């Protein structure tokens, strides 16, 4: 049954917008969610109904949880980092303080935390790096070394680099155009950093191309790699089948739904070369 695989803590609520601030090209939004916040873990996401009751935008939009606080002036809250790209995200970014949105969460799988004090590397691309900041705090509190690498096409698309620096042992920035940090794609810097920091576990969030490149590097170094997969999720609860990805299976290939089997998945299990999948089918 599909319902058995949905995050057991998930509930549907009307969440009040208590803050909406523009940060560079992104919106940092805070929602009052009450007891829901206590169930949120790094890697989880929420699905929000966008467009309003009279809109043709009938499908929900999925947003990774940036941070959850179970206590505060208005009780529990969650924070999201939203890029206003499509009509749904533009509608959400236009919400004012005091507005309410129909929200389901927390959904999906969370990042797994090492049982020992491991050397960890957190790799994020653009605003996709949002879930890594809460994870960095969790790992640091567990006694792990945390090295963070943030990359984007240009400097202003790297989200909250100063906050990242406060939460980690080291912070490395990369930009495709060289406007900040190392000039080049983020994956090009990873092998050297793995050797330098003696990395034992990699966590990554970002575009699928970046995740694929990181997965290949992790395999070459024989390092555990957990990645938050960015596939379009229309329902968030495993019904619509828009977010499937192929994984390795004892019978060959298995298609799984990233909204309930992910978004956090073992990078070594995902079949990143979609052409090889099509050839096998």
Q: Which residues are annotated as a binding site for [2Fe-2S] cluster?
A: 235, 240, 243, 259
Q: Which residues pair with 225 in a beta bridge?
A: 202
Is residue 81 exposed (0-12), middle (13-18) or buried (19+ Cβ within 10 Å)? buried
Torsion of CA 179, 201, 257, 249, to 10 degrees: 130
Binding positions: 235, 240, 243, 259
Q: Which of 112, 117, 124 is nearest to 42 (CA)?
A: 112
Would you say 202 and 123 are in contact if contact means Cβ atoms under 8 Å apart? yes
Q: Which of 68, 86, 85 is nearest to 77 (CA)?
A: 68
Is residue 222 exposed (0-12), middle (13-18) or buried (19+ Cβ within 10 Å)? exposed
Torsion of CA 127, 69, 40, 42, to 10 degrees: 40
Would you say 152 and 161 are in contact if contact means Cβ atoms under 8 Å apart? no
């Amino acid at each position: 049954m599909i319902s058995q695989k949905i995050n057991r803590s998930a509930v549907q609520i009307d969440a009040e917008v208590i803050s909406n601030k523009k940060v560079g090209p992104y919106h940092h939004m805070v929602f009052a969610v009450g007891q829901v916040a206590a169930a949120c873990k790094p890697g989880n996401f929420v699905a929000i109904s966008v467009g309003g009751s009279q809109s043709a935008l009938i499908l929900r939009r999925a947003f990774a949880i940036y941070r959850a606080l179970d206590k505060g002036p208005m009780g529990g809250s969650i924070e999201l980092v939203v890029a206003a790209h499509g009509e749904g995200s533009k509608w959400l970014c236009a919400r004012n303080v005091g507005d309410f949105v129909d929200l389901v969460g927390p959904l999906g799988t969370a990042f797994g935390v090492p049982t020992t004090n491991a050397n960890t590397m957190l790799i994020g691309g653009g605003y996709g790096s949002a879930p890594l900041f809460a994870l960095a705090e969790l790992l640091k509190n567990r006694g792990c070394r945390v090295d963070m690498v943030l990359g984007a096409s240009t400097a202003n698309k790297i989200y909250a680099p100063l906050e990242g620096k406060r939460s980690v042992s080291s912070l490395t920035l990369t930009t495709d155009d060289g406007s900040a940090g190392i000039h080049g794609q983020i994956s090009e810097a990873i092998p050297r950093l793995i050797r330098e920091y003696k990395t034992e576990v990699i966590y990554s969030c970002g575009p699928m191309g970046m995740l694929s490149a990181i997965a290949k590097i992790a395999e070459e170094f024989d390092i555990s790699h957990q990645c938050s997969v960015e596939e379009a999720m229309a329902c968030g609860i495993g019904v619509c089948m828009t977010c499937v990805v192929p994984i390795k299976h004892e019978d060959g290939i298995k298609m799984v739904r990233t909204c309930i089997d992910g978004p956090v998945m073992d990078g070594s299990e995902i079949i990143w070369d979609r052409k090889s999948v099509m050839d096998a089918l």
